Amino acid sequence: DVKVTQSSRYLVKRTGEKVFLECVQDMDHENMFWYRQDPGLGLRLIYFSYDVKMKEKGDIPEGYSVSREKKERFSLILESASTNQTSMYLCASSLEAGYIQYFGAGTRLSVL
């Protein structure tokens, strides 16, 4: 079974803090994704990566950056957290960009 692990289930941060969300997958997948999910808005793609050190902007990249130094690890960075970044963050991986995505359990981030 594919396993996608997100480092934290719950995080509470202060406005202006730098926040790192980590994601690791164990299936040697080429593609990894970061989404945020808010009530009524569904899943929104923040960034994705189709290869090590490669990244592509999704639909809502503003206020976020990413890092992919190793194939199995994809990090989402909030450079200066703001209250409107309070959300559920989901990481996913897939063999190809348009193929089955396997999701982690999610990180619920609260920015106070």
Q: Which of 4, 19, 81, 111 binds other proteins (CB under 8 A)?
A: 4
Distance separating alpha carbons of residues 29 and 52, to the nearest angstrom: 11
H helices within the chain, ranges in order?
none
Q: Which one of 12-20, 62-70, 72-80, 91-99 is the stretch in contact with other proteins (CB under 8 A)?
A: 91-99
Closer residue to other proteins (CB): 81 or 90: 90
Q: Which one of 14-22, 44-52, 64-72, 77-85 is the stretch in contact with other proteins (CB under 8 A)?
A: 44-52
CA dist list (Å): 33 to 13, 14, 73, 101: 22, 25, 11, 9
Query: Does 41 contact other proteins by CB under 8 A?
Result: yes
> Which amino acid is present at 75?
S
